[in-house]
Each structure stands twice: as structure tokens, then as C-alpha cells.
Structure 1
Amino acid sequence: MPVPDPRSLDFAALETLRLVHTLGSFTAAAEVLDVNQSAVSYTIAKLRSCFGDPLFVREGGRQVPTERCEGLIAHAQGMLDTLDDMVEPDTFDPANSEHTVTLACNFYERILLIPKIVAALRAQAPRLRINVINSLGDGHLRLLRREADLLIGPFGRAESGFHSRRLHEERYACLMDPGHPAAGKPLDEAAYLSLNHILIDYNGTWKSAYLKEIEAAGHTLRPAITAPSPAGIARMVAASDLVATVPRRMGEAISDGLAIRESPFPGTFDISVVWTARVNASARHAWLRERVFAACR
């Protein structure tokens, strides 16, 4: 069987390569492309023959890229980005747009910001499809992999390739039952550390700023309970001796009669919107960012 000429490859083949690389699965790539898995397998087989490399090897249930594949992806990404820039219109008509926009964020933003953002977007672009995904601790990678258009949260990026804009400042506070002995008095460091804490550890993907302050002061928080997410925290705190340290605005939104007290370790941080330099000049993305800024102002 003759080896295919690499010049016969098209952008669709490169997009398939990129999707398998990003998703680690032929099946997942086929679902995104809305084709049969056999079509993805055929394309990867053609690419393997063209470049004389397996490109992917199966490890632990995932398709893991070879070193040669990583090099090809670096080149393909630039070409695909250029193609996207070429077909991106200079103007954007939100009233008639049927694009899909993807916002990466976590629980805080879904509670406090996403409802306002969705309302603002739909008011001007009723046909727009909005996809909200978890950012966890690596949301910037989702931007680079083009899995998201915007990243919203405590993720301001200063390095080359990213832009960011601050939405507001946030600080941590203590959420507790109003009958808790500590609910009626200020908390100093010793009193705070002696409480029965619920620690939200985000499955190890993120370390909260107040924890960094505690460690910087030479202390260690020893929680009574560890949870992966703030979801359900208010119910756990209610009618108990437990205390949860959460961002203050979120605490106010979910408190439902619980007491909120200042923390001696406020861990002040910023909530920001982040996007890549690649989409900075796009009319569609500029419109999206302005609507988000206006909704969250």
C-alpha cells in the first residue's frame, strides 16, 4: 500500500488529530465531530502512514500522544488557529448568531455570576448557545486547548498569550450556625484554628488563598471534615458545631439564615475574566467579553 502524500492532508484531518490529542479518545473525538469512530480511526491511520509514527499509544484507557505527535500538534495548532482567524468575520450580529460560547468556571461563579451573564447574553443574542463547564484548577489550559472561550474566576494570568480583566475583589469569611458559640464574638487566630472546620479541598486541584495565609503564619488547619466542593456546605453547617471558610459573597448567597463572621485569615483575592491573545481581536469574542463585564459590574 503506497504511503499517502502529506500534501494530500486537509484541515479536517489535522482537526481530528487535535481532538484525539485533547480528548485522549477516538470515541470522544468522533462524538465531537459527529462521525463514526471508524472515520476517526481511518483518519489517524492515514496520518500514521504519512508521518511514519504511531502518533498515539493506548495507556490506562487513554490514547497517549507520542513525542512525534506532540511536535505535529504544535505545528497543526498554529495552522488551525490561522484558519479560524481567516474565517472569523470582522463584525458580529448577536441578534442572529447561533454560535456556541463556552464559559469555564467553578461553583462560586455558577452561583453568583453565571445567572446574570446568561440573562445578559440571551437578551441580545436569543439564539446563542451557552455551554458552562468546570474549570477546576487548570482553566487556562482549557482556553489554550480551545475548550472554552472565557475563563471566569480567581485565575488572573499575567504571562504572554493571555489577557485578563478584574471583575471584583473577594475575601474569605466563616459560615456557621447562628447558635454556634463563636457566632457572637470576633475570631482571633487561636479561636479560629480551634474550631471544627469543613475544608473544601477541590479534589486537590486548587488551594484556597486563606489556607496559604494560614501556612505562611506557621499554622496548620486540621479539618474535622473534608469536602470536594462547596455544594451542600450550608446544610452541613446548619445546626452543627462545624464552620466552613468560604468566599464571603458566596457565603451570603447560600447562607439561608446562617451566621457569617470575619475570618482572621481573609485570603483576599480577585475574580477575573481571562481569555487568550488569539481571540483578543475577534468581534464575536469582544462582544462576549463586554456583555460579561457589564453583567458582572
Structure 2
Amino acid sequence: MHQMNAGRPDLNLLVVFDAIGRTGSVTLAAERLSLSQPAVSHALNRFRDLMDDPLFVRNGNRLEPTRHAAQMIPEVRRILEHVGSVLAPSTFDPLTASHTFRIGASDYTMISVLPALVRAVRTQAPNVRLDIQSMGETTLARLKTGDIDLTFIGADPPGGTLKSQELFRERFTGLLCARHPLAVRAGQNAVTLDDYLAFPHVMVSFRDPRQSPIDARLAALGRKRSIAVTTPNFASNVASITGTDLIMSLPSRVAANTMREDLIQFDLPLDVPDYPYSLLWHTRSDQDQAMIWLRGVAVSISQRT
């Protein structure tokens, strides 16, 4: 029974062994591997010592494998093929891939970004699955642990191990019912700050303890709006203003995707800074070909919408 001598095996010896097994010649193996003949001979001798077997014996002009080497050849080739597949650059073909992407999405994302993203993914990668999960307090932690692959953020990115790419700048706009007392002014984009503050407002009740940009701007002016209704999402807010005197302030892309004939959109009568809306992912997936493709799709649809 042949046993390998002590010492760490060298993968290069397997490559040389395989080349000689295929060519039956040290010279041809050297040409195949772009090595010198002495280098291949030296490697063969090292492997012979390591395996305690001649491995190849000359039969005329050809080197023939010993019985032990003949048994090794198919296994060595399987090892080399496996190593080659592991070390080969990863590829992603959207037409044939059956990948599952886990995406953290806020109410804003589901209304403003996901519809176009889903259409693009279905068109380009029909076998890909999108697992959309609601964002919450643990979203960034789950992104760091790998429970989700990608999310979006409407604020300055946190940095660190999380990488980001800005998709667009978002701004706030106003929305009210077509039967609202301010409907005519809103249709003319003539709503004043006093008009805006004279009526009750509906807003989304995010768990973010920070003051909303609109309320922060009003506070800087020494003013304050009256909040009559809070709901957990934008869709509920839009439904709440129908047939009421409520005013809703919301991101412009949400307004564009929820507009109806009985609603009127208007410019806010105060200067609220716009803000970045970005993709967010962990550095571990930065070079992953599937994730690079998905991020590219998200960037592309964001530039078109």
C-alpha cells in the first residue's frame, strides 16, 4: 500500500502529474504547461518521492503510468477540475439564473422603486426570485449579518462595512383632496405658508426619533403644523385625505405613483432641502456578480423614473 510521505502536498505537483498522464512525455508536458523540461522533471521526481512510487515508467518513446498512478489519474483530474471551478471568477447570467435576492424595503421603496425594479427583473431574469421584506429597526443589523442582501436608505448612508450608491435626490411635495378648501390655490401652486398651516395634516408615524425635515424647517421659522392623523404608511395617508380638509406632505415619487383624479399636488410653501436616496449593501457582496447585476438594474430604473 502506498502512503504519502510527510510534508504539505503541493497542488502544482498534481498539475504536472496530470499533464504527464495526458501527454505521456515530460517534454510535451513542459510545453503544455509553459515550463522548462528540467522544471517538470524536478516536479515529477518530488512527487515520486512524496508518493513513494515511480508513477511513470518508460515504454518506448512514451511514459506509461504505474498501476498506482493509473488509479490516481481520474481522482487527480477531479480534484483539479474542482479547484478550477472554485477559483474561477464567478459569473451571473440573468437569463438562466435561478437566484433569490432578499431585499429590505420601506413603504417608500415599495411604492416608488419596487414596481419598476420588479418589472425590469422579470424582463431580464425570468427565473430570479425577489424576496421583499419590510424594513424595521433591525434592517441594518440584518444586512450586516447577511439575512438580507440589499436595502435602500433615504438618509446619509451609515458607512463602515456598509457600502452605498446614490440613486437620486428626493424632495417633498404637497397633496390634498380636489374638494379641499385650498383646491383652487393648490391647482395654481399658490398655497402660502399661512394657508398650509391653517389646516390639519396627516403624516406617516415613523419610529425615527428625529424630527421630520418639514417640522424641522417649520421650527426654524418659529412655526408649527397641526397633526390630526398619523398612519403607518403613505398609502394609508393618501386614502385618509380623500373627502377631508387634511393636507399631506410626502416625497415627490410617492405622489407621482399614487396620484388620482380626485387629488391635487402642489409645491410646499417652504424651502425643505432635498435628500439622497441610496442603495445599501454589505462589503461582502461588493464583488458578487449577481449583486453587481441587481445593483445595476436598480441604478438603471432609477435614472428612468
TM-score by length of 2: 0.63
Q: Which runs of 5+ in 2 are unaligned?
A: 1-85
**Alignment-derived partner of residue 41 in structure 1:** none
Change in 2 beyond 3 A, CA 1:213/1:137: farther
Residue 137 of structure 1: how far off its partner (Å): 5.5
Question: Any residues of structure 2 matched to 1:207-246 within 5 Å, and which?
Answer: 208-246=212-250
Q: 1:197 and 1:295 mapped to 2: Cα distance?
A: 32
What is the alpha-carbon distance in structure 2 between the residues aligned to residue 114 and residue 98 of structure 1? 19
The match for 2:178 is 178
Q: Provide the rounded CA distance (Å) in 2 between the counterparts of 1:87 and 1:218.
A: 63
Task: Kindly state the Cα deviation for residue 207 of structure 1 after the two structures are TM-superposed.
Answer: 5.2
Aligned residue among 284, 290, 300 for 1:284? 290
Name the CA distance, whole Å, in 2 between partners of 1:224 and 1:90: 54
Counterpart selection for 1:255 from 234, 253, 259: 259
Q: CA deviation at 1:197?
A: 0.5
Distance in 1 between residues matched to 2:221 and 2:288, nearest whole Å: 45
1:172-204 deviation digits (Å, cap 9, x = unpaired): 111101222223332333332222101211245
1:250 deviation in Å? 1.1
State how far apart, in whole Å, the 2-side matches of 1:87 and 1:105 are.
34
Distance in 2, matches of 1:188 and 1:164, equals 37
The share of aligned pairs that are identical, in percent, is 24
C-alpha contact (below 8 Å) 2:157/2:278 kept by paired residues = no
Q: Residue 213 of structure 1: SS of its match in structure 2? A: helix
Q: What SS does the corresponding residue of 1:95 show, helix, strand or coil?
A: coil
Offset, 1:231:
2.0
- CA distance in 2 between counterparts of 1:207 and 1:215 reads 10
Structure 2 CA distance, aligned partners of 1:138 and 1:171? 26
Tell me, in whole angstroms, the C-alpha distance in 1 between the residues paired with 2:246 and 2:153. Answer: 26
- Report the equivalent of 2:109: 109
Give TM-score scaled by structure 1 length.
0.64
**Structure 2 letter corresponding to 1:106:** S
Measured in 1, the distance between the counterparts of 2:256 and 2:220 equals 27
Pairwise CA distance, 1:246: 1.0
User: Which amino acid is 2:229 matched to?
Assistant: I
Residue in 1 that maps onto 2:166: 166
Contact 2:162 2:283 in 1 (8 A): yes
Distance 1:133 1:95 in 2: 24
SS at match of 2:143: helix
Give the SS at the match of 1:151: strand
Per the TM alignment, residue 91 of structure 1 is displaced from its structure 2 partner at its CA by 1.6
CA distance in 2, matches of 1:256, 1:178: 10
Q: Tell me the CA shift for residue 165 of structure 1.
A: 1.4
- The residue number in structure 1 matching 2:194 is 190
State which structure, 1 or 2, has the greater radius of gyration over its C-alpha atoms: 2
Counterpart for residue 27 of structure 1 = none
CA, structure 1 residues 252+283, in 2 after alignment: closer, same or farther (shift >3 Å)?
closer
Q: Which residue of 2 aligns with 1:295?
A: 301
One-letter amino acid of the counterpart of residue 237, structure 1: I
State the shift of 1:135 in Å: 1.7
**Structure 1 contact 91–283 (Cα < 8 Å) conserved:** yes
Judge which range, 198-207 or 237-246, deviates more: 198-207
Give the unaligned 5+ runs of structure 1.
1-85
Match of 2:274 in 1: 268
Give matches, 1:12-31, under 5 Å: none
Once the 2 structures are TM-superposed, how far is the Cα of residue 89 of structure 1 from its aligned partner? 5.7
Q: CA RMSD in A?
A: 2.4
Count of matched residue positions in the alignment of Structure 1 and Structure 2? 212
In 1, Cα distance between equivalents of 2:128 and 2:267? 41
